[in-house]
A and B are shown apart, each in its own frame.
Chain A
Amino acid sequence: MEPVLESSEAIHLQNVVFGYDRRNPVLHVEELIVKTGKRVFLYGPSGSGKTTLLGLITGILQPQSGSCKVLGQEMTRMSMSARDQLRGSEIGYIFQSLNLIPYLTVQQNVALPCHIHARRRKNIVAPTVNEEVQRLINRLELDTHIDRGVKKLSTGQQQRVAIARAIIGKPRLVIADEPTSSLDTDRQQAFLELLFEVCDEAKATLVFVSHDRSLMTRFDEQIALSEVSRVSA
């Protein structure tokens, strides 16, 4: 992999056009910039192409045209497996719900990124992966559930395990796709608090996607998807 240059922009999308088939682009982003180290709130109602945009940022999807720079690397010029590599080692991802592999325990779920990517393993704070998992579990107050199957956890607990897995091994970018919409209002605030804290500790840029504008004031920057993206009919 080419050396990663330290850039002030974690994400820079320009004239990105994407469609599941060539004739019907579903997303057209003229420009989207996320500065390194910022907490960014990306607002968009459901169906506005948020998840598709995240697919492009994480390199799971490839745009038909345009430039898609993530963590200083031009995704459109990388092979599929190089993009997989970048995503796994540098990006933590949190889904709206059902974030966890159902047949693994809490411990195994959290440790997974370190087993897949050497870079995540190298960045851990504790001396071993197990101790690092334990540290994060303690940090997220999930201590008693470490060897349990994930199906027995409450939604709130599952989302916290998802934070732990996203943040282990200090990825440079954390993307959360509606992570609070399955939680009630009280828990949303606590969840957000925790997410901010661990992202700060890992010095990760946070992209938080939601349709719920009540949370947006707590972010450094707010971007409405409708402003950056023109969805062609």
Chain B
Amino acid sequence: MMILQLAFRSLWSRKFTSSLTVFSIALSMLLLVGVNRIRKGTQVGFEGTLSQTDLIVGPRGGSLPLLLYSVFHIGTANNNISYATYQHFAHHPAVLWTIPISMGDSHRGFRVVATDDNFYEHYRYRGDNSLALAQGSRPEGIFDAVLGSTVASQLHYHLGQKIVLSHGLEGSFLKHTADPYTVVGILKRTATPVDRAIYITLLGDEAMHLGWEHGAPPLNPIPESQIHASDLHIDEISAFLLRTKSRIGTLFLQREINTYKPEPLTAIIPALTLEDLWSVLSAADVALTLVSAAVLIVGLMVMLTALYTALNERRREIAILRTLGLHARQIFTLIILESTLISALGALIGVAAAYAVLFLVRVPVENNYGIPLAMVGISSRVVYYVIAAVGAGTLLGFIPAIRAYRNALVDGLNAG
């Protein structure tokens, strides 16, 4: 106990070098834990965005792009699937519900998603959470729009606001100026990409593109007042989400969709495709972890240098402690305790900082990059990192400690 107090006071007397060493270890722990936690946070965030959906169906193509554009609004859909095909599977006996999704337009950087009532009815995230309206109602009319909570809060939109949608993604100069939409509802916050989109009806999507068959605005746009639901029919959608009546049915249905003759389709199981995504990203994760580990080693080396060089100035101190009856092994313990204290303090500050950073960046990251980042707790990996850092710090402490022990025996009273 007395040795521990001595170690504390000794470190405190060298506040400047001690805090620099603690800082360098804390910084490397911040990197190490931060990389791990952000990866885990992203995983949890992605996995929480969509639940209870067994299959995502889109045109024939890569499964990862399909997952990313249909659920996370990352990337674009290149092809569509026919509405007839959608109808076929929507009424398939093995299917419990479907949510159609049609995309391609945007409003001031936010995606516009055309869907139907099933979306509000059946969409689930983080287990069994369903969508709810904070204000207003679901879109009924062709020119009704519902805003995700982030869209509403960032653009300061309110119910009744008229908005103009752009063709394609952000910055497009092709605007559907002829057909302004009216905000009729605002969704409650879900902390998923759902918050970052504007939802219209499937017919509304068709209405917007009425006369756009050649990919450019019609020369004589039809005024909003003259468009009626009965004039419109839905040709295509981008993709749809689907839930089967039984889990066993999922695999059979996936096979059936993938081999569907009338139209080439891709059906993916979201959880499995996410696994693919993580395995793609794991190489980057390993690289970042190795770099962080290297930084930790540098931090520990800084500590070793600081403790070792201080030993020369401390020969007199050691001689005094010896005359006071401290055993040479207690001198050894004193130095070891100092390295343990530094590395433990550095590790704890680093972990705390990593969580603070995660807490602070998660909303900006979600808002600016659309990447859902969940707050995640301490994992066994973080505990291992802390144990490894403190263990390595203590082990490195053996080097100056052994020298101090030798000095204690050899120098005797001559030191200083």
Contact = CB atoms under 8 A, between A and B. Distances in A.
A113 B325 contact: yes
Contact of B321 (A80, A95, A101, A117): A101
A80 B331 CA distance: 14
B326 A84 contact: yes
Interface residues of A, number: 33
B87 interface: no
Interface in A70-84: 80-81, 84
Interface stretch (A33-41, A52-60, A181-189): A52-60
Interface in B293-349: 316-317, 319-328
Given A84-B327, A100-B320, A101-B317, A116 B2 contact: yes
A141 to B, nearest CB: 23
B234 interface: no
B320 A115 contact: no
Nearest to A92: B323
A84 B13 contact: no
B328 to A, nearest CB: 7
Nearest to B10: A103
Nearest to A96: B416
A98 interface: yes
A104 B8 CA distance: 11
Contacts of A102: 13, 317
B12 interface: yes
Contacts of B12: 103
Contacts of B416: 95, 98
Contacts of A101: 6, 317, 320-321
A132 interface: no
The CB with the most chain A CB atoms within 10 A, among B323, B327, B412, is that of B323
A85 B325 contact: yes
B406 to A, nearest CB: 13
A55 B412 contact: yes
Contact of A89 (B13, B320, B325): B325
Nearest to B416: A98
Interface string A31-68: 00000000000000000000110110010110000000
A26 B413 CA distance: 15
Contacts of A179: none
Contacts of B10: 103
Given A60-B322, A102-B13, A81 B327 contact: yes
B154 interface: no
A51 B9 contact: no
Given A61-B412, A103-B12, A88 B317 contact: no
Contacts of A55: 412-414
A80 B409 CA distance: 10
A103 B320 contact: no
Nearest to A151: B13
Contacts of A88: 324-326
A84 B325 contact: yes
Identify the interface centre among B9, B13, B326, B413: most chain A CB within 10 Å of its CB.
B413
Contact of A104 (B9, B326, B410): B9
B13 A103 contact: yes
A20 B412 CA distance: 11
A103 B5 CA distance: 11
B413 A51 contact: yes
A87 B413 contact: no
A101 B322 CA distance: 12
A107 interface: no
B88 to A, nearest CB: 81
Interface string B87-122: 000000000000000000000000000000000000
B413 A177 contact: yes
A99 interface: yes
B12 to A, nearest CB: 7
A228 B38 CA distance: 75
Contacts of B410: 20
Given A89-B325, A102-B13, A60 B412 contact: yes
Contact of B413 (A60, A81, A84): A60
**Most A Cβ at <10 Å: residue of B6, B9, B14, B325:** B325
A165 B320 CA distance: 11
Contact of B9 (A84, A89, A103, A116): A103
Contacts of A54: 413
Given A99-B320, A103-B10, A58 B327 contact: no
A125 interface: no
A87 B323 CA distance: 7
A11 to B, nearest CB: 16
A93 interface: yes
A98 B413 contact: no
B325 A116 contact: yes
A81 B331 CA distance: 13
The 8 closest A-B pairs by CB, nearest first: A88-B325, A103-B13, A93-B323, A55-B412, A60-B412, A84-B327, A103-B9, A115-B2
28 contacts: A20-B410, A55-B413, A58-B413, A60-B322, A60-B323, A61-B412, A80-B327, A84-B326, A85-B325, A87-B323, A93-B323, A93-B324, A95-B316, A95-B323, A95-B416, A99-B320, A100-B320, A101-B321, A102-B13, A103-B10, A103-B12, A104-B9, A112-B324, A113-B324, A113-B325, A115-B2, A116-B2, A116-B324
Given A81-B327, A112-B324, A116-B325, 13 more contacts: A51-B412, A51-B414, A60-B413, A84-B325, A88-B326, A89-B325, A102-B13, A103-B12, A104-B9, A113-B324, A116-B2, A116-B324, A116-B326
Interface of A: 20, 51-52, 54-55, 58, 60-61, 80-81, 84-85, 87-89, 91, 93, 95, 98-104, 108, 112-113, 115-117, 165, 177
